[in-house]
Structure 1
Amino acid sequence: MTFTTQRKVRFQHCDPAGIVFYPRYYEMLNSVVEDYFAEVVGHDFHHMHVASRTGVPTARIETDFHAPSRLGETLTFELAIRDVSRTSLTLRIVAYCNTQPRLTCDSTLVFVDLESGHPLPWPDAMRRHFDHDIT
């Protein structure tokens, strides 16, 4: 299953030329991941970070930028699970404007204990979603 959501390119995302400044894409990508965990996995970041003191920091990220995005455009983000291991999750997020690809991002998240920083095995309730959604 692919998780799909949209983001409007706002002034805050752009450089003086009116195109998305690349670090802002990473903020958008993180918000897509956050929405996926809340809407699909059923574990929002507030619950993970505050209640269970766990998190999913990025251990690896690789991004190809295909074309610039401009102020006022609406980007469609598609998140797909590529692989899941005992403590990590590899995903691909592709962003489009209409049908034109804007970026492709492959990243690996690690489920960690926020106190120690050590990896933890995925809880069964979360892992079931990943296994079901793998492409």
Structure 2
Amino acid sequence: MSNNHYFTTQRKVRFEHCDPAGIVFYPRYFEMINAVVEDWFSEALNCSFAELISSGRGVPTVSLQTQFHAPSRLGEILCFSLVPQALGRTSLTLEIIATHQDQRRLTAQVTLVLIDLRTGRPLPWPDPIRQFISPDET
């Protein structure tokens, strides 16, 4: 899998993300991860979630493994990096790392599956997306 599709984006830790101690409440990280994936689809793959859904397709998360390395605090800017790790016929595994300055805060392995929203059945990734993610496999 080629790492030339490294994608980064930033998220500011807002009050809405924090627990009473002023640190990110762990489920809010999952919302941030989903936003990073959605941004990657729109900005890197040129395929927004709105376009996917209107065409009757979706990309639900089927596996999410997460390690929390250090707390993130209100007002910090987190840098999220996303790198495709494995591309199957219908599945895609991504690694997402969140850092603040040089400190790693979170590492996640996210597996998505492209599905037909009407049937819930898996679909093969379209050639343009497959070509972008892994140009040496098509």
Give the TM interval when normalised to the shorter protein: over 0.9
Percent sequence identity is 57
Partner SS state of residue 41, structure 1? coil
Structure 2 residue aligned with 1:101: 104
Cα RMSD for the two superposed structures: 1.3
Give the counterpart of 2:53 among 31, 49, 53.
49
What TM-score does the superposition give when structure 2 sets the normalisation length? 0.94
Structure 2 residue aligned with 1:60: 63
Q: Which amino acid aligns with 2:51?
A: H
Partner SS state of residue 63, structure 1? strand
Superposition pairs for residues 82-97 of structure 1, below 5 Å?
82-97=85-100
Shift of 1:132: 3.9
1:6 aligns with 2:10: yes
Moved more, 124-133 or 54-63: 124-133
Q: Which amino acid aligns with 2:31?
A: E
Structure 2 residue aligned with 1:73: 76
How many residue pairs end up in the alignment?
133
What TM-score does the superposition give when structure 1 sets the normalisation length? 0.96
Structure 2 unpaired stretches of 5+: none
Q: Which amino acid aligns with 1:25?
A: Y
Structure 2 residue aligned with 1:36: 40
1:18 aligns with 2:26: no
Partner SS state of residue 71, structure 2? coil
Q: Which amino acid aligns with 2:94?
A: L
